[in-house]
Structure 1
Amino acid sequence: MDFLNFPAILVAAVSALVVGFIWYNPKVFGNAWMQAAGLTEEQLKGANMAKIFILAFIFAFLLAMTMMQMSIHQTGALSLIGGDASKALPSYTAFMADYGDAFRTFKHGALHGTMAGIFVALPIIGTNALFERKGAKYIFINSGYWIVTLGVMGAIVCGWK
């Protein structure tokens, strides 16, 4: 079974940008985020947006690859045999025949993505924000974005077979 689903990974990476367009829209959290970050519209103008979006997409692609590992449990079984299913013992083939699609749902992926957001992104963002002297509003807006985004990414990469 091949777990590397490039179309799903690409769509999951794009989903990070789509969620960001919505999340950081001025009518949603955009204005509150600018205030919490200590930024003005003037400061945000003039940036190289092509560079920002290209790098954001590359980073999102890397996260989507990670979400694949975090949300598809069968990748753990594949790693136990060294990653080459053609050299696996018959027990691996039997295991995959029995459990190859177990927990391969959008719901399960969303759960793992949300957990990654809470237990990985939130502590990282929170720690950085504390040292940057940012407040709770900044932490919750940015962490909320990543919790939702990783939930969506996990759902896509786990549920798309």
Structure 2
Amino acid sequence: MGNLNFTAVLLGAVAFFVLGVLWYTILFGGAWGRLTGIGDEMASRGNTIGGRPMRRNPTWLVLTLCFAFELLISLTLGHQYAMTGPSDRAKMMIAFGYGAMLLTPGIGIMYLFQMRPGKLFAIDAAYLTAGTTLLGAIHCWLD
């Protein structure tokens, strides 16, 4: 498995998670809420989205699963670094590439079939690209 830096994996996931909190509250929370129908509008309608009943997902469960997914992304990135031993420049290129060239097209395909707005795609894709780039920076700093 190479010399996997578990500290970088964990702190990278924490940084990715914190970026998500800021991204979907302070930075783009209002626009994201309007585009998804989640937020103040949902609260005024009750427990529905688009007139359909919404399953009750406790906030702690949603946030825990988000962190687990971000941890998995960080672990995958850390494993690639451990196996290939890239320079810091290459680490940053790989990290950016994860977000821009793997995660972004993946959600793009789903959003096309779900007919979601382009602005929502831009918010979510930019978050994933910024988050994976931040992961790369954390790994460079700690490796």
**TM-score, normalised to structure 2's length?**
0.80
Which residue of structure 1 lines up, in the alignment, with residue 52 of structure 2?
none
Contact 2:2 2:83 in 1 (8 A): no
**Which structure would you say has the larger RCO, counting Cα contacts within 8 Å and 6 or more residues apart?**
2
- Residues 86-101 of structure 1 mapped to structure 2, 5 A cutoff: none
Equivalent residue, structure 2, for 1:36 = 35
Opposite residue 37 of structure 1, the aligned amino acid is T
Q: CA RMSD in A?
A: 2.3
Instruction: State the TM-score, normalizing by the size of structure 1.
Output: 0.72
1:71-116 C-alpha deviation (Å, 9 max, x unpaired)? x2x514xxxxxxxxxxxxxxxxxxxxxxx6x50x2x5433221111
The residue matched to 1:4 in structure 2 has which SS?
coil
Distance 1:22 1:123 in 2: 23
The equivalent of 2:102 in structure 1 is 120
Q: Quick check: which has more Rg, 1 or 2?
A: 1
1:136 is aligned to 118
| Residue 111 of structure 1, aligned match among 62, 74, 93 | 93
Quote the Cα distance in structure 2 between the aligned partners of 1:109 and 1:55. Answer: 26
- The 2-side partners of 1:56 and 1:35 are apart by 21
Moved over 2 A (4+): 38-47, 107-111
Amino acid in the other structure paired with 1:136: G
Task: Verify: 1:51 aligned to 2:61, yes or no.
Answer: yes
Cα distance between partner residues in 1 of 2:114 and 2:2: 42
Q: Distance in 1 between matches of 2:117 and 2:16?
A: 24
